[in-house]
Amino acid sequence: MSQYDYDLLIIGGGSGGLACSKETAKLGARVAVCDFVTPSPKGTTWGLGGTCVNVGCIPKKLMHQATLLGEYHEDSKKFGWKYAGDAAKTHDWNTMVDAIQDYICSLNFKYRTELREKGVKYLNAHAKFIDAHTVELKDKKGAITQATADKIIVATGGRPKYLGLENEKECCITSDDLFSMQTAPGKTLVVGASYVALECAGFLAGLKYDTTVMMRSIPLRGFDQQAAERICDYMVEHGTKFIRGCVPAAVEKLPSGKIKVSWKPTSGDGAMESDEYDTVLVAVGRTALTAECGCENAGIEVHPSSKKIIGKGTGVGGTEQSNIENIFAIGDVLEGYPELTPVAISAGQLLARRLFGGSTKQMDYVNIPTTVFTPVEYGVCGLSEEDAIAQYGEDDIEVYHSAFKPLELTVPGRGDNASYVKVICRISEKEKIVGMHILGWNAGEIIQGFGIGMKLGAKKEDLDDLVGIHPTAAEVFTTLNITKRSGGDYMAAGC
């Protein structure tokens, strides 16, 4: 008999933790998942499933879909559709929120059911390390117990950061709060330039709320900056306002209930400015929940800035092993790796198979496709142009690109220059593709398909030999012949 309560205990019931627990149980090990959501400063909480399901990918994309439906409604009129009494078309925030929350609640129930059916012990309690094999469990009633495990995985992810301003937690919300708000947001200031900031601002503006984005510096740091700026240009054309090079200096709740925000430039001696908003959404990044689960009590090494766990393992433990032999980390809480739900799921499943199934297969973190669901979607796999140049040198990089209008938008007469593709190649390796980028509708569906080619080492000539599907946006990847170096006209003509 083992000296521990469990073979594996996972702290965090998000996508990675759930996937890892179910895989571990399938391999015959005794496994438990600890999951507890500390309410946001506004009191928002949610069920089992983690950030992606409850306050991230799922509600974000559904609200993005709501804006697309509004656009399609208008487009359909140009194709001959007529609507009786359509003069006062409006959107009802509460109907959308209630429908999305109902769907999320069904997912919460499904996850709990799956854990029970697969033999995973679900512990709805806040877990905090006592030592490397022991955690303290505190449930919602304050009752405290302990659990021990041979191996422990930290899969806690993170929570939104704040700005550090006085009264901001009273005055501002984060993405933890937005998706379940029972009152329409009204005039909104989004502080930040992350993908969360731009995605939220995009669907709020698309739902016809007066929306402003305040950016300290560049948009979508870490992504291709040409693509990022094209996204901002498109958002401006479709109603989103931007305040660039500024940060909030103070927030104040007025007797009217509105939030007064005062801001200043990040450089120079520009005058302080201010405005009043119904909602202020802070989206300036996330911080890992390692302090909350007491990583220091187990001697786990974390990054001094991000507070994420530093992977140091080799062999069976792999990248996900911490400096403590029996403790591992997966998902957003692991330093230096993509903060993406499918990454956490795959890493968790592979780690379970190595720990309990005799597998040696490691997670491959290279060339993982992803999509930003801004009003014009942005799909990417591989390096940005800036990173490719930094890694290989400008002389070894060839960039093929094309801007175009999707056929679907020609009749409605919108979307000029909204769609764009870029393929980045390394010349010294026979133009091996090191980055693929697409701006446009269904960008995620498109980049997912091309991602397999990059995993297999595709070259530019492989794209040239691929016969495109006509007429589609994805087809443009197969017809690229203009390079940035040539300076040629990269605006594609029609059929």
Bridge pairing between strands 121-123 and 31-34: parallel
The helix/strand/coil state of 349 is: helix
Tell me 240's DSSP state: -
Q: How many helices (H) and strands (E) does the chain have?
A: 12, 21
Annotated active-site positions, please?
Answer: 470
Tokens of 336: 């230096």
Q: Which residues pair with 105 in a beta bridge?
A: none
Bridge pairing between strands 144-154 and 158-160: unpaired
3 state SS for 117-140:
HHCCEEECEEEEEEECCEEEEEEC
Work out the number of other CB atoms within 10 angstroms of the CB of residue 37: 21
Backbone φ, ψ for residue 146 (5° rounding): -130, 155
Tell me 406's DSSP state: -
Yes or no: say if 464 and 431 are a contact pair by the CB < 8 Å rule: no
Work out the number of other CB atoms within 10 angstroms of the CB of residue 144: 11
Kindly list the distances between the CA atom of residue 474 and the CA atoms of 2, 201, 375, 463, in Å, as whole numbers in the listed order. Answer: 55, 27, 18, 11
Instruction: Label residue 184 exposed, middle or buried (CB < 10 Å: 0-12, 13-18, 19+).
Output: middle
Backbone φ, ψ for residue 419 (5° rounding): -95, 140
Tokens of 98: 């209630």
d(CA 336, CA 323): 15
d(CA 299, CA 325): 11
AA letter at 148: T
d(CA 96, CA 64): 11
d(CA 392, CA 426): 8
Would you report the helix, strand and coil content of the chain in percent, each value rounded to 5? 35, 25, 40
How would you label 272-293 residue by residue, b for 16+ Cβ within 10 Å and e otherwise? eeeeebbbbbbbbebbbbbebb
